[in-house]
């Protein structure tokens, strides 16, 4: 197939612009363009990703540059998107599907968790599905119902799925690269509120960020704070507030939710003896429970206080005017850091 030439620079992410700081949306766009250019087997599938360029502009310009055979606009049917992408992955393509908002992943969770995730195990390793599912997720941008959910629990509880969740433009690029290179299904959870929250330099030749590697974003000695996605800046802000109270918090960005980087989290807790986990999803049955259970099991004798979780509330994600109360913020994180020091 012949790819039409670019009619305009997608998100400004051209070679000339690569020396400038870019947003997470631009970083993802650049990696998708690279993948489409370098591997004819890469295909994008999703709602509004072509003509509209994606509701968050992540696929902006890609249809014009690579054509309708590589960038497929679909009907509003998430089960069809994942079903089709899974079939493509089984037959030699490298599909990258987009589920426009994670709350609608429920429609496709059977295809993803029961079919794609399990196919390697069910065929004794004879069949693999190199499938990437990009999911804008989370709250904080005043979306209506079903558009702010964080469903990492469904994915991390499903054997066969890898789940990554960046919090910076460079990590988004590096993790998406790893996801595309992976031979098995990988879900990329993209925090909606961080798509344009900041800019940083992202080198064109930056290496992939290995799946399963957390990143220490702030070094500290008193308490370990673990967060991911949009909660990382919140955790960092909470740590700064705590620093003003004389508490030195270490902040870890998990970056990969499945598999967990047990080494980085364990080493930090062995050092600090105190743990706070922050996430947007509701408390009960949240991934925070698993992070706590894993660390308590492995680092029990280092623990000096019971771990605390700062999370969304155990209610349906609320309408716009209530979401600031629902979502963890820096004061709540700082309060938990202080409380875990006093326990």
Measured from the Cβ of residue 201, the count of other Cβ atoms closer than 10 Å reads: 12
Alpha helices (runs of H) in 123-213, residue ranges in sequence order: 152-156, 169-181
| Cβ 126 to another protein shortest distance, Å | 14
Closer Cβ to another protein, 10 or 288, answer by number: 288
Closer Cβ to another protein, 21 or 306, answer by number: 306
**Positions in the binding site for another protein (CB under 8 A):** 103-104, 106-107, 109-110, 113-114, 117-118, 121-122, 145-146, 153-154, 156-160, 258, 281-282, 284-290, 292-294, 296-298, 300, 303, 305-309, 314-316, 343
Closer Cβ to another protein, 296 or 330, answer by number: 296
**Helix 24-38 vs helix 169-181: crossing angle, to nearest 10:** 30
Report the distance separating Cα 116 and Cα 129, nearest Å.
Answer: 6
| Cβ 19 to another protein shortest distance, Å | 41
Please choose, from the candidates 188, 261, 138, the residue with its C-alpha nearest in 3D space to the C-alpha of residue 27. Answer: 188
Closer Cβ to another protein, 36 or 117, answer by number: 117
| Cβ 109 to another protein shortest distance, Å | 5
| Cβ 18 to another protein shortest distance, Å | 38
Burial of 155 (0-12, 13-18, 19+ CB in 10 A): buried
| Cβ 264 to another protein shortest distance, Å | 17
Q: For residue 136, report the phi and psi dihedrals to the nearest 5 degrees.
A: -60, 135
Alpha helices (runs of H) in the chain, residue ranges in sequence order: 24-38, 62-66, 78-90, 109, 119-122, 152-156, 169-181, 231-244, 262-272, 287-299, 323-326, 330-342
Contacts of 277 (CB under 8 A, 6+ apart): 225, 226, 227, 288, 291, 292, 307, 308, 309, 310, 311
Measured from the Cβ of residue 168, the count of other Cβ atoms closer than 10 Å reads: 24
| Cβ 123 to another protein shortest distance, Å | 11
Out of 51, 146, 147, 279, the active site residue is 147
Q: Burial code of 65-78, b = ≥16 C-beta within 10 A, e = fewer? A: bbeeebbbbbeeeb
Closer Cβ to another protein, 324 or 343, answer by number: 343
Closer Cβ to another protein, 60 or 184, answer by number: 184
Report the distance separating Cα 275 and Cα 333, nearest Å.
Answer: 11
Using alpha carbons, list the distances in angstroms from residue 206 to 19, 32, 306, 327, 328.
12, 14, 39, 33, 32
Closer Cβ to another protein, 39 or 314, answer by number: 314
Please choose, from the candidates 293, 329, 328, the residue with its C-alpha nearest in 3D space to the C-alpha of residue 311. Answer: 328
Q: What region does 227 belong to: left with phi over 0, alpha with psi -120 to 50, or beta?
A: beta
**Alpha carbons within 13 A on the beta-carbon side of 323:** 18
Does 147 qualify as catalytic in the annotation? Answer: yes
| Cβ 40 to another protein shortest distance, Å | 32
Q: Report the catalytic residues.
A: 147
């Amino acid at each position: 197939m012949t790819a039409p030439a670019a009619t305009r620079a997608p998100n400004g992410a051209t070679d000339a612009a690569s020396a400038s700081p870019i947003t997470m949306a631009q970083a993802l766009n650049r990696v998708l363009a690279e993948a489409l250019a370098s591997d004819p087997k890469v295909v994008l599938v999703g709602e509004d990703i072509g003509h509209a360029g994606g509701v968050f502009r992540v696929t902006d310009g890609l249809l014009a540059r690579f054509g309708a055979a590589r960038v497929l606009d679909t009907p509003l049917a998430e089960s069809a998107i994942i079903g089709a992408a899974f079939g493509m992955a089984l037959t030699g393509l490298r599909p990258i599907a987009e589920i426009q908002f994670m709350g609608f992943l429920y429609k496709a969770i059977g295809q993803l968790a029961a079919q794609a995730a399990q196919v390697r195990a069910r065929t004794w390793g004879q069949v693999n599905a190199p499938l990437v599912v990009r999911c804008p997720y989370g709250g904080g941008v005043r979306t209506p119902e079903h558009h702010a959910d964080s469903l990492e629990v469904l994915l991390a509880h499903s054997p066969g799925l890898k789940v990554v969740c960046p919090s910076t433009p460079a990590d988004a690029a590096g993790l998406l690269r790893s996801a595309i290179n992976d031979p098995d299904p990988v879900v990329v959870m993209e925090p909606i509120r961080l798509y344009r929250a900041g800019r940083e330099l992202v080198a064109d030749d930056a290496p992939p960020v290995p799946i399963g590697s957390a990143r220490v974003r702030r070094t500290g000695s008193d308490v370990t704070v673990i967060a991911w996605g949009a909660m990382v800046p919140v955790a960092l802000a909470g740590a700064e507030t705590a620093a003003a109270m004389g508490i030195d918090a270490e902040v870890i960005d998990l970056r990969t939710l499945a598999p967990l980087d047990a080494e980085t989290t364990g080493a930090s807790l062995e050092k600090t003896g105190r743990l706070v986990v922050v996430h947007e999803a509701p408390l009960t049955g949240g991934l925070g429970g698993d992070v706590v259970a894993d660390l308590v099991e492995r680092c029990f004798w280092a623990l000096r206080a019971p771990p605390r979780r700062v999370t969304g509330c155990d209610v349906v994600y609320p309408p716009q005017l209530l979401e600031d109360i629902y979502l963890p913020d820096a004061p709540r994180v700082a309060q938990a850091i202080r409380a875990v020091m006093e326990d």
